[in-house]
């Protein structure tokens, strides 16, 4: 079978600790196109997989600044520049009045933007995701996924390696989503 980007090997673990250890060993063994599918986030996993901190907070900061700038520009354009009106004797640029909306737009841009970026970033990984098979990773399995796109890929070898990590139910999957144990 010709490996495609959806081909790879899955292997199950039953405890988060086991999964952590396995991930660390996969990484130590030089694999790069691997992933760990878990029912809940496992503390320390990005460390074990060598991923480092997420860059999402930087996105958040940028979007927050955009929100602030947009809110200030909007309000000053409307109230001061485009059609200044006398509302209750207040000056046109009554800056305290602009604070709430500035804050809200900052939060809005930062929060919605961060969430969208995080979801998109989660989807667009260098490592191709496994095809949608019932991995059990949404129930109670911690599933190791090694993609066929990894330069070290050798189907049989990989399965043996995964078994050697203590994984249960090690199987090869292909693009059709079928598992081939």
Partner 1 sequence: MNAHEPTTAPDEVRMERREFLRLSSAAAAAAALAGTACQVPPETAVPFSDMPENLVDGMGRARYFHTVLDGTPVLVRTREGRPILVAPRDQETSGRGLTVRHQAALMDLYDPDRATGPLALRRRPDTATPLSWNAVSVDVVARLRSSGARAVLLTGPVPGPAVAAAIAALRDRCGLRHVTWTPIAADAAVAAWSQAFGGPEVARPRLAEADVILGLGAEFLDDPSGGLDRDFASRRSPDGADRPDGRPTMSRFVQIEGRLSLTGANADARIRVRDSHLASVACALAHELVVVRGLGPLAGDAAAAQALAPFTIAAVAAATGVPGDALEGLAAELQRAAGRALVLAGGSASSSASGVALEAATLVLNATLGAFDAGLFDDTGATVPDASGVDGLVALADDLRAGAIEMLIVAGANPVYDAPGALPGGSFADALAKAPFIVSLNDRVDETSALADVLAPVSHPFESWSDAALPGGAAAIQQPVIQPLADTRGLLDLLVDWAAAFGDPASAAAVAAAVRPVTPPPAATAERLPSPSLAWHYLRAAWAVRLGADAGTPAFDAAWNQLLRAGSWQPSARDAGPRAVDPKVLALLGAAPPPPTAPAAVELQLYPHLALGDGRHGNNGWLHELPDPVTRITWGGALSIAPRRFDEMGLANGDLVEVDTGHGTLVAPAYRHAGMHHDQVALPLGLGRTGCGPIGANIGQNAFPLRQNANGRLIAAGLPVTLRRVDGHDRLAIGQGSEVLDRESRPLVPATTLTAFEADAAAGTRQVAGGASAWPEHPYPNARWAMAIDLSRCTGCAKCVVGCQAENNIPIVGRHGMLDGRPMAWIRIDRYYDAPPRDGGWDAAVWDGPLEVVEEPQALFEPMLCQHCENAPCETVCPFSATMHSADGLNQQIYNRCVGTRYCANNCPFKVRRFNYWEMSKRQESTFFRWLVPRIAANAELNTRPPMQLKNNPEVTVRSRGVMEKCSFCVQRIRLARAEAIRAGASPDTLPDGAVVPACMEACSTKAITFGDIHAPGSRVAAQASSPRAMRLLESVGVKPAISYLTKVRNDKA
Partner 2 sequence: MTRPDLSPYATVMDDSQLTGRPIVVPGAGPYGGDLELPEPLVTGAKTWADVDRDICMHAEQFPTRRWWLAFGVALAFLGLLGFALMTLFYAGMGILGVNQPVSWGSFIINFVFWIGIGHAGTLISAVLYLFRQQWRTGINRAAEAMTLFAVCCAGLFPVIHLGRAWFAYWLVPYPNARGPLWVNFNSPLAWDLFAISTYGLVSLTFWYMGLLPDLATVRDRATHPWRRRLYNALSFGWTGSQRAWRHYESAYMVLAALATPLVFSVHTIVSFDFATSVMPGWHTTIFPPYFVIGAIFSGFAMVITLMTFMRGYFGMTHYITLNHMENMAKILMLTGMLVGFAYCTEFFMAWYSASAWEGFVFRNRAFGPYGWAYALMFTCNAIVPQLFWVKAMRRNTLVLFVVSILVNVGMWFERYVIVVTSLHRDYLPSSWGMYALTFWDYAFLLGSFGLFFTLFLLFVRVLPVVAISEVKGVMDPQVARGVPRPTAVAATVPAVPAAAQGV
Q: Which of 82, 88, 123, 124 binds partner 1 (CB under 8 A)?
A: 88
State how far the alpha carbon of 109 is from the alpha carbons of 5, 14, 33, 77, in Å.
35, 40, 33, 19
Q: Which is nearer to partner 2, 3 or 136 (CB)?
A: 136
Toward partner 2, which CB reaches closer, 85 or 156? 85
From 32, 47, 70, 152, residue interacting with partner 2 (rule: CB under 8 A): 47
Q: In this chain, which of 89, 120, 123, 132 binds partner 1, going by CB under 8 A? A: 89
Q: Is 6 one of the binding residues for partner 2 (CB under 8 A)?
A: no
- Cα separation, 159 vs 9, in Å, equals 7
Determine if 121 is a binding residue for partner 2 (CB under 8 A): yes
101 contacts partner 2 (rule: CB under 8 A): yes
Q: Is 151 in the site for partner 1 (CB under 8 A)?
A: no
Q: Which of residues 5-64 bind partner 1 (CB under 8 A)?
A: none
User: ∠ CA 169-174-175 to the nearest 5 degrees?
Assistant: 140
**Spatial CA neighbour of 6 closest among 43, 36, 33:** 33
Range 21-56 burial, b when 16+ CB lie within 10 A, else e: ebbbbbbeeebbbbbbbbeeebeebeebbeeeeeee
Among partner 2, partner 1, none, partner that 40 touches (CB below 5 to 8 angstroms by kind): partner 2
φ and ψ at residue 9, rounded to 5 degrees: -120, 140
Q: Among 51, 73, 81, 90, which residue sits at the site for partner 1 (rule: CB under 8 A)?
A: 90
Q: Does 130 bind partner 2 (CB under 8 A)?
A: yes
């Amino acid at each position: 079978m010709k490996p495609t980007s959806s081909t790879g090997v899955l292997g199950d673990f039953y405890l988060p600790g086991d999964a952590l250890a396995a991930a660390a060993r996969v990484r130590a063994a030089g694999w790069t196109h691997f992933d760990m599918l878990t029912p809940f986030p496992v503390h320390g996993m990005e460390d074990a997989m060598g991923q480092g901190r997420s860059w999402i907070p930087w996105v958040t900061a940028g979007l927050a600044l955009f929100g602030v700038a947009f809110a200030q520009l909007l309000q000053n354009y409307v109230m001061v520049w485009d059609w200044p009106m006398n509302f209750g004797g207040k000056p046109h640029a009554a800056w305290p009045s602009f604070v709430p909306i500035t804050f809200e737009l900052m939060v809005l841009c930062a929060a919605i933007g961060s969430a969208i970026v995080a979801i998109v970033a989660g989807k667009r990984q260098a490592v191709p995701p496994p095809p949608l098979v019932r991995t059990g990773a949404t129930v109670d399995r911690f599933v190791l996924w090694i993609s066929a796109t990894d330069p070290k890929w050798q189907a049989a070898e990989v399965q043996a390696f995964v078994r050697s990590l203590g994984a249960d139910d090690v199987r090869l999957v292909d693009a059709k989503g079928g598992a081939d144990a």
